DNA sequence: ACCTGAACACCGTTCAAGT
DNA sequence: ACCTGAACACCGTTCAAGT
């Protein structure tokens, strides 16, 4: 079983390296050096760079699992998972994007999805719609956290004046009309919470309690 | 102006290369060879590998712009943008993930956002909420398309029997209850359309026409 | 102004060899 | 069973040089 422990040791080191110096600094050689070993010593355990990155996805999903198994009613559990997904991104900003680009069927991944299925069923979503709604929610949560840690949101907002200056009058009329609103720096915690509430509201209104 | 044309020529070639052989095959050397030139000849035009990838994001957003300027009522325009974002992913599956990880403030990017702002205002979303709802919608659209082209969706669904076999009885109860539903292969076109409809429904119910 | 060629410091990975 | 060391075929990028 020291095999498995060694693998998680390696993955932990890789994740720490990604957190500290970015995903592109996660090199077989740099990772090996951090572990006091040669790069080729890693291959039997993680199976090359691709296997290493898949392993990082698994490790992150394992970190998400406890939140998925929290207590409370269905809506509360979905909020907990949603906030945990965002907290995970803040903990591992550089590695997080892997979650959207590398499929994973780790047992822990299935368990997280199962927790969401259960909550949606409890909320009255019909069986046939549950997988779709789960994908809608998880896609939004992963996409939001990814966008946030990668800075996709902080540019329509950073200096809207200088930005509008590139355009002629009424070339971007909505930006002009929203000028004052766009001046304010958004509170991302509040925005994300509001988004989750809206999505839960959608679910409750669309399939109001029949069970 | 042959400067700019040369740059878009290079970006077009890079995008084509990514479409044909994957983003990791987009190498300064391989790209240069495709253009019948030396790798270092690219540097003055695109400014290194990072600038090249930023350029790919800009090119893709430019491809999205025509759909954003389509005709019709507000809801119809939002659908058009949503579907165009997914079509873009199918056209450039490998490069698409860059949209979520590399911020862009290209004029075309601002124009696309402006079109969404306009549609949301027309639907009755209050000024203060428009930027948040735009981020919600664009995040979902980008995240969904990215997940789809990267295969994140095709694994809870591919062979659900073999997957459940890893677990003891009632360890994943929701998967068990949804067994029949999970057997069916989803129609992704229909699912994405249903998601967009649900999100539009949310908007219309939450801020029902007061204007 | 635009391109080339050689060079540098890196990659992931293979493979024979050690213990 | 686990690790090493040298080697191979690549990277992105710098820099002096050509025209």
Which chain A residue shows the shortest CA-CA distance from B176?
A114
CB-CB: which of A114, A136, A194 is closest to B172? A114
What is the rounded distance in angstroms from the CA atom of residue B136 to the CA atom of residue A208? 23
C19 C1' to A47 CA distance, Å: 23
Question: Could you tell me which of A57, A80, A117 has the C-alpha nearest to residue B157?
Answer: A117
Least confident stretch, B19-23, B48-52, B155-159: B155-159
Question: Could you tell me which of B114, B107, B155 has the C-alpha nearest to residue B138?
Answer: B114
Q: What is the pLDDT of residues A65-119, one digit of tens each?
A: 999 999 999 999 999 999 999 999 999 999 999 999 999 888 999 999 999 999 9
User: Do B74 and B123 contact (CB within 8 A), yes or no?
Assistant: yes
Could you tell me what percent of chain B has a pLDDT over 70?
95
What is the rounded distance in angstroms from the CA atom of residue B187 to the CA atom of residue B211? 37
Question: Could you tell me which of B59, B57, B90, B84 has the C-alpha nearest to residue B70?
Answer: B84
Name B85's Cβ contacts closer than 8 Å, sequence gap at least 6.
B64, B138, B141, B142, B145
- Does the pLDDT at position B211 exceed 50? no
Look up the pTM and report it.
0.95
Confidence of residue A156 (pLDDT cuts 50, 70, 90): low
Of A residues 11-50, those with CB within 7 angstroms of nucleic strand C are: 26-30, 39-40, 43, 48-50
Interchain proximity B206–A206, CB inside 8 Å: no
> Can you tell me which residue has the tokens 């398309």?
B145
Interchain proximity A110–B201, CB inside 8 Å: no
Confidence of residue B208 (pLDDT cuts 50, 70, 90): confident
Question: Could you tell me which of A184, A83, A132, A161 has the C-alpha nearest to residue B132?
Answer: A184
Interchain proximity A157–B131, CB inside 8 Å: yes
- Does the pLDDT at position B210 exceed 60? no
Q: What is the DSSP track for chain B?
A: -HHHHHHHHHHHHHHHHHHHH-GGG--HHHHHHHTTS-GGGGHHHH-HHHHHHHHHHHHHHHHHHHHHT--S-HHHHHHHHHHHHHHHHHHSTTTTTHHHHS----HHHHHHHHHHHHHHHHTT--GGGHHHHHHHHHHHHHHHHHHHHTTSSTTTSS-HHHHHTTS-TTSSHHHHHTHHHHHSPP-HHHHHHHHHHHHHHHHHHHT----
Q: What is the pLDDT of residues B37-81, one digit of tens each?
A: 999 999 999 999 999 999 999 999 999 999 999 999 999 999 999
- What crossing angle do the helices spanning B130-149 and B107-122 adopt, rounded to 10°? 120
What's the distance, CA B83 to chain centroid? 10
Using the CA of B44, which nucleotide's C1' is the nearest one? C2
D6 C1' to A124 CA distance, Å: 64
User: Do A152 and B103 contact (CB within 8 A), yes or no?
Assistant: yes
Q: Is the dihedral of CA B122, B126, B130, B132 positive or negative?
A: negative
Interchain proximity A117–B181, CB inside 8 Å: no
Residue B1 Cα, gap to closest chain A Cα (Å): 19
User: DSSP character for A23?
Assistant: G
Per-residue pLDDT at A211:
47
């Amino acid at each position: 079983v020291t095999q498995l422990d060694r693998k998680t040791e390696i993955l932990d080191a890789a994740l720490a390296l990604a957190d500290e110096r970015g995903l592109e600094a996660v090199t077989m050689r740099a990772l090996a050096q951090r572990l006091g070993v040669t790069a080729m010593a890693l291959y039997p355990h993680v199976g090359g760079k691709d296997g290493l990155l898949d392993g990082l996805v698994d490790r992150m999903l394992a970190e998400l699992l406890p939140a998925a198994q929290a207590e409370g009613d269905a809506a509360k559990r979905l909020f907990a998972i949603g906030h945990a997904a965002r907290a995970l991104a803040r903990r591992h900003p550089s590695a997080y994007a892997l979650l959207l680009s590398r499929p994973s069927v780790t047992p822990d991944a299935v368990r997280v999805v199962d927790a969401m299925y259960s909550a949606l069923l409890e909320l009255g979503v019909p069986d046939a719609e549950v997988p779709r709604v789960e994908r809608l929610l998880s896609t939004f949560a992963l996409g939001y956290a990814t966008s946030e840690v990668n800075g996709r949101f902080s540019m329509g907002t950073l200096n809207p004046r200088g930005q509008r200056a590139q355009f002629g009058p009424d070339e971007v009329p909505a930006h002009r009309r929203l000028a004052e609103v766009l001046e304010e720096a958004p509170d991302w915690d509040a925005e994300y919470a509001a988004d989750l509430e809206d999505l839960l509201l959608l679910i409750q209104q669309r399939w109001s309690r029949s069970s």
